Chain A
Amino acid sequence: MATEKELSDFLQSVEKRAFKRSLYHVRNEESALDIVQDSMMRLAEHYGDKPVNELPMLFHRILSNCTLDWFRRQKTHNALFSHMSDFEGSGDEDFDLLEAWSGPEGGESAQSAEDLVRRGQTLRDIELEIQELPPRQREAFLMRYWEEMDVAETAAAMGCSEGSVKTHCFRAIQSLSKALRAKGINL
């Protein structure tokens, strides 16, 4: 049975990634925070007495369910498509802004600032491409590689077969690789 400290440490270790994952799905900070809070509450309330090694799978499953609940409440399809069009618009604006930033300035400080901005832009591009992935691919990819869960754990958390997890991950990597290369980002 997980002690209060173990539960607290676990939640602290996953809360930021959980927020970002929710944000990739719902694209709204307030909603993402609500989803994470709801997930933490459900975990603590219903599974707070479970062994600490079972907490990751349970939490990610709860997080997925809470996100699905949010989409159901938001009339799933309308919310999804309107957000996709919002995303396309904002992506272009960010790109233009950074084109202006990498201007003809010289010097060491300007160079480091330029690096900083470029790193920020790379991160934003990666996050935008993650958001562009189909939900199941994104979920499988993030659980498998970001949360470092193995295939069986990911399958249990997603409620699908291990073969499906492998397929989702493979397609997600292919799509990400292609999209990032097209943007000139080589990882």
Chain B
Amino acid sequence: MHPNELAANRFAQRVTEQLSVGASELPYDITERLRASRMQALARRKKTAIQVRTAPALVTAGNSAVLGKGDGGTHWWQSLLTALPIMALLAGLVVINLDLDEAGTLEVAQVDAALLADDLPPSAYADPGFVQFLKLGGAQPH
């Protein structure tokens, strides 16, 4: 290094040493306000970090609303984990639907079986004379 450059560096170091002394002797209220500013900045960072890890959320666009994923967590297994509850819900709905269908079919089959197994033919229920007969008490046992 050139001697002039060395001398300049030494001079600059001595100047900044003095400046450091001045910076270390700041009044209490200034240092406290700097500390408070630092705390606020760190709190702001936390808030940002939480937003970055946002889970899939409802995203509105115009008049429509869709499910969109957050900015962070782009691994496929994270997406899979997020989709699991939805898949479980869909599977539950399918099972309930099948169960209801089966129960309804069984009920209708039982009624049909009772009608077919009865002594009275099913066509009798469509006969107006038979209805009149029932009203007049024709069904009473003799």
Contacts and interface: CB of A to CB of B under 8 A. Distances in A.
A37 B43 CA distance: 13
A151 interface: no
B16 interface: yes
Contacts of A8: 38, 42
Count chain B CB atoms within 10 A of each CB in A15, A19, A169, A173 and give the residue with the most.
A15
B15 A176 contact: yes
Interface string B5-40: 000110111111011111110100011011101101
Contacts of A176: 11, 15
B41 A11 contact: yes
Contacts of B48: 44-45, 48
A126 B16 CA distance: 9
B41 A41 contact: yes
B45 A45 contact: yes
Contact of B38 (A12, A48, A119, A144): A12
Contact of A126 (B15, B24, B41): B15
Contacts of B41: 11, 37, 40-41, 43-45
Interface string A35-62: 0110011011100110000000000000
B142 interface: no
B21 A123 contact: yes
Per CB-CB distance, the 5 closest pairs between chain A and chain B, nearest first, are A40-B41, A37-B37, A48-B45, A44-B45, A44-B41
Contacts of A4: 42, 45-46
B49 A48 contact: yes
A172 B102 CA distance: 91
A83 B84 CA distance: 65
Interface of A: 4, 7-8, 11-12, 15-17, 19-20, 29, 33, 36-37, 40-41, 43-45, 48-49, 119, 122-123, 126-127, 130, 141-142, 144-146, 169-170, 173, 176-177, 187
Contacts of B19: 17, 20, 123, 126-127, 130, 142, 146
Contacts of A144: 12
B101 to A, nearest CB: 53
Contact of A173 (B8, B23, B30): B8
A187 B23 CA distance: 18
B75 interface: no
Contacts of A45: 41, 44-45, 48
16 contacts: A12-B38, A16-B31, A17-B20, A20-B23, A33-B30, A37-B37, A44-B41, A44-B44, A44-B48, A45-B41, A49-B49, A119-B21, A123-B21, A123-B22, A126-B18, A127-B19
B71 to A, nearest CB: 12
Contacts of B8: 170, 173
Nearest to B9: A145
